[in-house]
Amino acid sequence: MLYFNICTVADQLYKNPKAKLEYYENFIKKFGTNTPYASKMAAKRVKELKEEIHFTKN
């Protein structure tokens, strides 16, 4: 859960969505489904950030 908290703080502080995405993807790689709630929230945020990155390119 500590690393998930780091992800959320980075999400609040960083403006670059690619940097935010990297934190959440690392969380999913390291912890997978060990923490069901945090993993679900991280996956949801990864999806949102990928959409944000995709739409800002256009």
Question: What is the Cα–Cα distance from 2 to 35, expressed in whole angstroms?
Answer: 11
CA dihedral over 24, 25, 30, 34, signed as positive or negative: positive
DSSP assignment letter at 34: S
pLDDT band at 33 (very low <50, low <70, confident <90, very high): confident
Between the alpha carbon of residue 3 and those of residues 11, 28, 31, 48, 54, the distances in Å are 12, 10, 9, 19, 26
- How many CA atoms are closer than 13 Å to the CA of 25, on its beta-carbon side? 10
What tens digit of pLDDT does each residue of 6-23 get? 999 999 999 999 999 999
What tens digit of pLDDT does each residue of 44-57 get? 999 999 999 999 87
- The reported pLDDT for the residue numbered 58 is 63
Mean pLDDT, range 30-35, rounded to an integer: 89
